[in-house]
């Protein structure tokens, strides 16, 4: 019975974790649907964003941009500025990686691209480690007091509320983009059938560019939010989350960004709630087991196409 009383709190953790996984997963799904391969470097894109934000934040603090905490949050204007700039710089880096590497391999198979992305993953991770070292770097030094939600009795920190809101806003923006802008519709069309998109006159190279930009921006966001949640970052941050992200994406339907959101929430909640029943040492395995079950029953995922 004591286990059950922990569940509401674990659900809150699950929502936070799931939000971050969802943001990471959308990028993986978009990349898969349009570029045709599972990008193993996506986790390291997240780490890249987190570290760029850290670097920028140190820079802005040095330049005297105010960093006094905003309201109940742990961070201030300087951090928010770094956050936004980091999103842009991560997107730029990823676009360059595509331009000089993935683009030249577009005509090869998805396996070659996957292999190449593994190389990018290890390379990026170790570039981060080269400059920042393997030890954790702290985003937030102080411990923040949690608010207790009356009635339900769960605790949540203002930072965590920020994370959830940031995730909702990001997802909302992506949804609006995909459904109501010309380029967004072109992305959905290209995901359906790239050959037909070309025949129709859609500039598929531009679609690919936008895919990387959106994916990288979301990855950076996810990485920074993870840093806020865990309070520190290490170069392994992305890789540690990658398996859970892949599980989310497979669960929701590889290639479907909405599936990534659904899958992310389910995996996040499952992972956290599972700690009430099994040892935390096996938490990463929970995502994997759910994924395997999904692959056996319906490989195309919950929201997947019948393809």
Residues engaged in binding another protein (CB under 8 A): 32, 37-38, 40, 101, 104-105, 108, 110-112, 114-116, 118-123, 126-127, 129-130, 133-134, 182, 185-186, 188-189, 191-193, 195-203, 239, 243, 246-247, 250, 254, 279, 281-282, 284-285, 288, 291-292, 295-296, 299, 305
Q: Can you spell out the DSSP letters for 181-228?
A: SHHHHHHHHHHH-HHHHHHHT--HHHHHHHHHHHHHHHHHHHHHHHHH
Q: Which residue has the tokens 């070309």?
A: 198
- For another protein, the closer CB: 5 or 108: 108
Shortest reach from residue 264's CB to another protein, in Å: 15
CB of 25 to another protein, least distance (A): 13
CA dihedral 206, 42, 222, 248 (to 10 degrees): 110
What minimum distance in Å lies between the beta carbon of 95 and another protein? Answer: 17
Nearer to another protein, 18 or 304 (CB): 304
Query: Under a CB-based contact definition with an 8 Å cutoff, are residues 215 and 45 in contact?
Result: yes
Q: Can you tell me the distance from the alpha carbon of 301 to that of 297, in angstroms, rounded to the nearest whole number?
A: 9
Q: What angle do CA 77, 80, 83 make, to 5 degrees?
A: 155
Matching residue, tokens 């519709």: 185
Q: In the beta sheet, which residues pair with residue 147?
A: 156
Tell me if 211 sits within 8 A of 35, measured CB to CB.
yes
Nearer to another protein, 9 or 129 (CB): 129
Query: Which CB atom, from 49 or from 184, has the smaller least distance to another protein?
Result: 184
Per-residue tokens: 245: 């992200």
Q: How far is the CB of 17 from another protein (least distance, A)?
A: 18
CB of 197 to another protein, least distance (A): 7
Torsion from C-alpha of 244, 168, 164, 159, nearest 10 degrees: 120
- 236 contacts 125 by C-beta, under 8 angstroms: yes
Cβ at position 254, least distance to another protein in Å = 7
Spatial distance between the Cα atoms of 67 and 82, rounded to a whole number of angstroms = 11
| C-alpha closest to that of 20 among 268, 292, 285 | 268
Q: Which residue number, 13 or 40, has a Cβ lying nearer to another protein?
A: 40
CB of residue 175 to another protein, shortest distance in Å: 14
The nearer residue to another protein, 76 or 253, going by C-beta atoms, is 253
- Residue 22 or 74: the one with the smaller Cβ distance to another protein is 22
Q: Give the residue with the Cβ less far from another protein, 58 or 203.
A: 203
* Close Cβ partners of 23 (under 8 Å, ≥ 6 residues apart): 167, 170, 171, 218, 219, 221, 222, 225, 264
Smallest distance, another protein to C-beta of residue 221, A: 23
């Amino acid at each position: 019975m004591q286990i059950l009383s922990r569940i509401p709190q674990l659900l809150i953790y699950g929502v936070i974790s799931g939000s971050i996984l969802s943001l990471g997963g959308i990028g993986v799904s978009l990349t898969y649907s349009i570029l045709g391969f599972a990008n193993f470097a996506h986790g390291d894109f997240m780490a890249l964003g987190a570290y760029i934000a850290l670097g920028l934040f140190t820079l802005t603090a040095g330049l005297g941009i105010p960093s006094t905490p905003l309201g109940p949050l742990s961070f201030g204007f300087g951090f928010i500025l770094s956050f936004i700039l980091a999103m842009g710089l991560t997107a730029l880096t990823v676009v360059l990686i595509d331009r000089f590497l993935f683009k030249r391999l577009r005509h090869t198979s998805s396996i070659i691209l996957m292999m190449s992305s593994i190389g990018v993953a290890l390379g990026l991770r170790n570039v981060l480690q080269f400059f920042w070292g393997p030890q954790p770097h702290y985003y937030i030094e102080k411990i923040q007091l949690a608010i207790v939600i009356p009635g339900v009795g769960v605790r949540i920190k203002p930072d965590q509320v920020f994370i959830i809101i940031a995730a909702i806003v990001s997802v909302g923006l992506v949804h609006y983009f995909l459904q109501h802008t010309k380029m967004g519709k072109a992305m959905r069309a290209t995901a359906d059938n790239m050959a037909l998109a070309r025949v129709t006159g859609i500039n598929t190279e531009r679609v690919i560019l936008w895919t990387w930009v959106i994916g990288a921006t979301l990855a950076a966001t996810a990485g920074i939010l993870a840093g806020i949640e865990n309070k520190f970052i290490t170069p392994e941050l992305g890789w540690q989350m990658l398996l859970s992200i892949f599980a989310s994406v497979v669960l929701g339907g590889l290639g479907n960004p909405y599936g990534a959101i659904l899958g992310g929430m389910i995996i996040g909640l499952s992972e956290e709630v599972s700690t009430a029943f099994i040892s935390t040492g096996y938490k990463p395995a929970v995502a994997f087991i759910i994924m395997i079950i999904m692959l056996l029953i319906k490989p195309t995922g919950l929201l997947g196409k019948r393809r």
